[in-house]
């Protein structure tokens, strides 16, 4: 990934490059911020991240509807089902889904809940969980096709069993989130006086936001754990999880505002506009998950390479990085 000579020469002499080359990365000895950014960005470009995201999004999209059938087959068996169902539609879904697709998604889920076709022991449920596993399996395959591979891939059958187990785990996780959100309302009944009413509203909004962010972080961490094995602890996965979470919060706000105020998909696509928006929303979030994973790959790749190996990677530079750093210190 060499640059035109004049641009490269100007960049190498700039104060900004000297600063990038001086800043070291915590936890990775002898690696500068410039080296990390180069490995990270080149991995994203050469690894055709957007192409992988498009393929994964297609599988995730078709796994959503079987997963909804499987998930909400067990929903009526929850304690206080009627109250939990009402809370789910009025409070939880509006905070998770973009406004343009909320109405159609709610109608589909409501129809699934009220249908008598699916029971816990019906064959439809077993078929639905089989197909819903394909979404997580596609994400793991997307991780496997990273440009740099400082990791050990899981075997095919082992990977599918893991994806199946994670589908069940995500189901329990979502049930736990919905129930905890519902029962947290009763806690506020003990704090129902005028002096704390304003604090209650503020804390409720902040708590809901933090819980949504925490839910996304845990979900991404579980996906990274299901992916290729780095042979390291959960702590090494946190940089990618944090980056993905920050991008998720940012893009969710921008995407919702953009769809609501600047696009007219319903005029162009008519009744399938909801499907188009949902596919774009999935595509954006898959890119976010892959971008975070690539950061973990870059960090682990640099931690496994020696200084001489890194020098070979950056051989396109007219000087080695240590010499450039020394020149920066002299100036």
Q: Which of 295, 321, 311 is nearest to 27 (CA)?
A: 295
pLDDT at 303: 82
pLDDT at 329: 47
* CA–CA distance, 273 with 265 (Å, rounded to integer): 5
pLDDT at 69: 74
Task: List, run by run, the mean pLDDT of 10-residue segments along the chain (331 residues).
Answer: 58 73 76 85 89 90 79 72 74 70 76 61 70 86 82 77 85 75 63 56 69 84 83 77 92 77 64 77 92 91 78 64 50 47
* CA–CA distance, 277 with 325 (Å, rounded to integer): 48
Cβ contact 191:207 at 8 Å: no
DSSP state of 88: I
pLDDT at 275: 77
């Amino acid at each position: 990934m060499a640059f035109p000579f004049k641009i490269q020469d100007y960049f190498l002499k700039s104060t900004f490059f000297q600063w990038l080359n001086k800043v070291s990365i915590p936890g990775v000895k002898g690696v500068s911020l410039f080296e990390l950014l180069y490995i990270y960005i080149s991995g994203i470009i050469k690894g055709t991240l957007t192409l992988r995201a498009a393929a994964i999004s297609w599988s995730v999209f078709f796994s959503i509807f079987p997963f909804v059938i499987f998930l909400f087959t067990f929903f009526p068996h929850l304690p206080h089902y009627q109250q939990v169902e009402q809370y789910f539609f009025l409070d939880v879904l509006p905070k998770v889904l973009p406004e343009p697709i909320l109405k159609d998604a709610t109608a589909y889920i409501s129809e699934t809940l009220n249908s008598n076709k699916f029971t816990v022991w019906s064959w439809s449920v077993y078929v639905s969980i089989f197909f819903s596993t394909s979404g997580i399996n596609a994400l793991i395959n997307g991780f496997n096709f990273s440009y740099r591979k400082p990791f050990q891939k899981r075997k095919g059958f082992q990977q599918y069993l893991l994806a199946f187990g994670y589908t069940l785990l995500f189901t329990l996780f979502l049930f736990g989130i919905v129930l905890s959100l519902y029962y947290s309302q009763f806690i506020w009944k003990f704090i129902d006086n005028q002096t704390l009413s304003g604090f209650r509203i503020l804390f409720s909004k902040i708590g809901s936001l933090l819980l949504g962010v925490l839910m996304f972080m845990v979900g991404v961490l579980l996906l990274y754990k299901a992916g290729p094995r780095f042979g390291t602890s959960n702590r090494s996965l946190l940089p990618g999880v944090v980056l993905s979470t920050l991008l998720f919060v940012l893009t969710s706000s921008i995407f919702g505002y953009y769809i609501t105020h600047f696009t007219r998909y319903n005029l162009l696509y008519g009744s399938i506009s909801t499907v188009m928006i949902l596919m774009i929303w999935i595509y954006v979030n898959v890119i976010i998950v892959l971008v975070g994973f690539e950061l973990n790959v870059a960090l682990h790749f640099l931690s496994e390479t020696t200084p001489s190996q890194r020098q070979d990677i950056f051989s396109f530079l007219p000087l080695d990085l240590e010499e450039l750093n020394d020149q920066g210190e002299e100036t």
